[in-house]
Chain A
Amino acid sequence: MLNDIPNLTDKEAQDCAGEIRKSHRGLPQRINADPQSVEQGLAKLVLTLIELIRKLMEKQAIRRVESGNLTDEEIDRMGETFIKLEEKMTELKEIFGLEDEDLNIDLGPLGNLM
């Protein structure tokens, strides 16, 4: 290896590794070509898209709560919808054996927004 990682203490190395792992969005971890995993790949795609849209909608909702032009009732209703969506997603993730990280695509410049 050409690249040069400085002498890190045990703890530093552990911390760095942990944070790099966390920052690693959307990277397929284990991939095989058997049919079952292709199905999982498809589920991953679909759920990732749903999760992306859910997050975008949630952002939009938060913006509107922040701007103060929603009625109390509207906020209640929207919030409940998001809770239900989140529950549904948890269920689906379990069914397909996917973790949160699996659905965390690299949002590039959007990363900070999400």
Chain B
Amino acid sequence: MDDIGAKTKDVTLLEVLDRLIDKGVVLHGDLVISIANIDLIYVGLRLIITSVDTMQRCYERGVIGHV
């Protein structure tokens, strides 16, 4: 019956998820990032990707030579 409301609610939840899951302050140090070992992995991956991206940009700008 209130189907429109339900769908909009779905969007709201997804909008919340879109922000809350991989954004916001990350505390280092003694912190245990939960999400059963996976978020840690995720954070680590971001670092790798950032490096790859930087490399790619250098490559595009001709700062480093052709691979």
Contact = CB atoms under 8 A, between A and B. Distances in A.
Given A28-B42, A44-B38, A7 B53 contact: no
Contacts, number: 90
A45 B10 CA distance: 29
A24 B35 contact: no
A14 B15 contact: no
For chain B, which range describes its interface: under 10, 10 to 19, 20 to 34, or 35 or more residues?
20 to 34
A31 B3 contact: no
Given A1-B12, A3-B15, A113-B56, A28 B45 contact: no
Given A17-B14, A20-B11, A26-B42, A10 B49 contact: no
A108 B50 contact: yes
Given A3-B15, A41-B37, 19 more contacts: A5-B15, A8-B4, A8-B11, A10-B3, A14-B7, A17-B7, A17-B14, A26-B22, A31-B35, A32-B36, A33-B36, A38-B37, A44-B41, A48-B45, A56-B52, A60-B67, A106-B22, A107-B49, A113-B56
Interface of B: 3-4, 7-8, 10-12, 14-18, 21-22, 35-39, 41-42, 45-46, 48-50, 52-53, 56, 67
